[in-house]
Structure 1
Amino acid sequence: MYDHSSPFAQARAPGAEPKAAFALKRLRRAVIECELRPGTDCSEPDLAQRFGLGRAAVRTSLVTLAAEGLVAVEPRRGWRVAPVTGALIGDVIRARTAIEPGLAEIRLPHDTAAGLTALTRMGAALHGRDDRQALVTLRAADRQILDQLAARAGGLVGRWLDEAWNQADRIAAFFDLAGRHHQPVGREPLIAALAAGDAAAARSEIAAALTAFQDFATAALLSLPSSLDVAGVEDGRRRRQTGPATARGTRPDRSQRQGDIT
């Protein structure tokens, strides 16, 4: 997803903020962007060395990421990056469907709407391009727009939206590995509806964006190549129980990969 070369990337050097806060941002980004592949095991010492972070900061960050559903503790084994499965995709879609329509009640001031419109028009110029930098910039611009809307929702709703969108970004990044690239829908009609106070039109735009993401994720999941099936929970268990040779020779069928996405 986001990378250091994107004009929208805002990561700062360790000296610019507390080390623990920097460690959390860095590890969260590594998980969301699939720099740490879904379903893989990792240890605190390895993460500290790989990212140049302190052990204490890594441990604290992993506890926070576990609460966000991005990693899970593996007793006596360390940590495991949460796999991307049909069940996860279904959960994310249901969560977004339950929460995001509430954004339709937001009323955007004129200056805020103008700024977001400029941002979405910048992204619109990148639609249809398949190079990585264009995709990174387009997704980052879209996430900036969503983050500003979530900030206006505030409180728990804003936090829930942030966590749901982080998972959605991770799902999109995971499917990038398989050559299936999700491009966000244009947000200009949504911004116009919010600026005009047209909640019905805003809800319609939100629903259309959710449907587009669900359609993409469903099709991408069903076409998942066997080389990425290692991200599944059951495959990870097979690898630990029977060794890598058995796991490589086993591929879940379509119903197993889809899970309860619908």
Structure 2
Amino acid sequence: MYDPASPFAQARAPGAEPKAAFALKRLRRAVIECELRPNAECSEPELAARFGLGRAAVRTALTTLAAEGLVTVEPRRGWRVAPVTGALVGDVIRARKAVEPGLADLRLPPDAAARLTALTRMGVALQGREDHQALVTLRSADRQILDQLAARAGGLVGHWLDQAWNQADRIAAFFDLAGRHHRPIGREPLIGALAAGDANTARGEIAAAIAAFQEFATDALFSLPSSLDVAGKGSGRRRRQTGPETTAPQARPHRPTQQGA
């Protein structure tokens, strides 16, 4: 899941950084964690009041989130959180297949490998637990590992991976609402391969993680309850929905493509 402690998005109190930067991190987290539900309409005054943010900061943040594909502008109506659809799942998988294998060429020094291995031990401690909080904790640790690898890659690669993983985290959070929880695979073999300079094994581990996410998301799409489907068949009636009670309108999901990088 989205991790506020990641090196790409470390949220602090509003007084510790510019208000616009804080607003961006807070609203991005709300979208990724589905606090603002997919397909929900929202207005700048509503968001400013709900999250205790300034209107100008909210407007600037929403413009950035639109560029990241997390929200869309609704002319004369406000903003809409981007829906979770089969097309989005397919795009995220294709993006991950295209960019993520490049991490296999990293070489981890012993101190970095030790820090990342310590994060993987959380999975061992939570082994056998299927409660939602345990899975959220596992996903947070997994994201911290990935963020540290992306930070080593740096540049555009790190930026692209951050955006792809944000969308993957949002997909996982959306399916949490339907009781379908993504459990990431263990990363210890990947870390060991990167520490040893074994790029082929590292690429295999990365491919296995992407394939596991693809299988989960595809199965979850086809088992959504009618109250939590992915886009609108519907009535044509639009509601302004930003609260936790919101459900996304219905649509027929379709499988993401199997196309690789």
TM-score by length of 1: 0.88
Does the Cα contact within 8 Å between 1:42 and 1:78 map onto a contact in 2? yes
Give the number of the structure with larger relative contact order, counting CA–CA contacts within 8 Å between residues 6 or more apart.
2
CA distance in 2, matches of 1:236, 1:95: 30
Matching of residue 151 in structure 1 with residue 151 in structure 2:
yes
Does the Cα contact within 8 Å between 2:227 and 2:250 map onto a contact in 1? no
Shift of 1:212: 0.3
**Quick one: which amino acid aligns to residue 188 of structure 1?**
E
Matching of residue 257 in structure 1 with residue 250 in structure 2:
no
Does the Cα contact within 8 Å between 1:66 and 1:72 map onto a contact in 2? yes
CA distance in 1, matches of 2:101, 2:144: 18
Q: Counterpart of 2:236 in 1: which secondary structure? A: helix
Q: Counterpart of 1:258 in 2: which secondary structure? A: coil
Q: How many residues align?
A: 246
Structure 1 segments of 4+ aligned residues over 6 angstroms from their partners: none
Partner of 2:233: 235
1:157–1:112 distance in 2 versus 1, CA, 3 Å: same
1:63–1:236 distance in 2 versus 1, CA, 3 Å: farther
Shift of 1:122: 1.8
Q: Counterpart of 2:253 in 1: which secondary structure? A: helix
Does the Cα contact within 8 Å between 1:38 and 1:82 map onto a contact in 2? yes
Q: Percent identity?
A: 78
Shift of 1:12: 2.0
Matches for 1:193-232 after TM superposition, within 5 Å: 193-229=193-229, 231-232=230-231
Shift of 1:135: 1.8
CA distance in 2, matches of 1:228, 1:237: 15
Partner of 2:26: 26
Matching of residue 13 in structure 1 with residue 13 in structure 2:
yes
Q: Counterpart of 1:235 in 2: which secondary structure? A: coil
Deviation by residue 1:190-220 (Cα, 9 ceiling, x = unmatched): 0000000000000000000000000000000
Does the Cα contact within 8 Å between 1:89 and 1:261 map onto a contact in 2? no
Shift of 1:127: 3.5
CA distance in 1, matches of 2:152, 2:3: 26
CA distance in 2, matches of 1:2, 1:162: 10
Deviation by residue 1:206-237 (Cα, 9 ceiling, x = unmatched): 000000000000000000111012x41x3378
Deviation by residue 1:51-104 (Cα, 9 ceiling, x = unmatched): 000000000000000000000001111000000000000000000000000000
**Quick one: which amino acid aligns to residue 169 of structure 1?**
D
1:236–1:93 distance in 2 versus 1, CA, 3 Å: farther
**Quick one: which amino acid aligns to residue 85 of structure 1?**
T
**Quick one: which amino acid aligns to residue 163 of structure 1?**
Q
Shift of 1:251: 5.0
Shift of 1:238: 3.1
Does the Cα contact within 8 Å between 1:178 and 1:228 map onto a contact in 2? yes
1:251–1:44 distance in 2 versus 1, CA, 3 Å: closer
Q: Counterpart of 1:257 in 2: which secondary structure? A: coil
Partner of 2:92: 92
Does the Cα contact within 8 Å between 2:3 and 2:140 map onto a contact in 1? no
CA distance in 1, matches of 2:201, 2:131: 32
CA distance in 1, matches of 2:57, 2:256: 36
Partner of 1:244: none
Matching of residue 138 in structure 1 with residue 138 in structure 2:
yes
CA distance in 1, matches of 2:226, 2:257: 19
TM-score by length of 2: 0.89
CA distance in 2, matches of 1:189, 1:259: 29
Does the Cα contact within 8 Å between 1:32 and 1:169 map onto a contact in 2? yes
Partner of 1:68: 68
Matches for 1:159-174 after TM superposition, within 5 Å: 159-174=159-174
Q: Counterpart of 2:145 in 1: which secondary structure? A: helix
Partner of 1:245: none
Structure 2 unaligned runs (5+)? Answer: 240-246
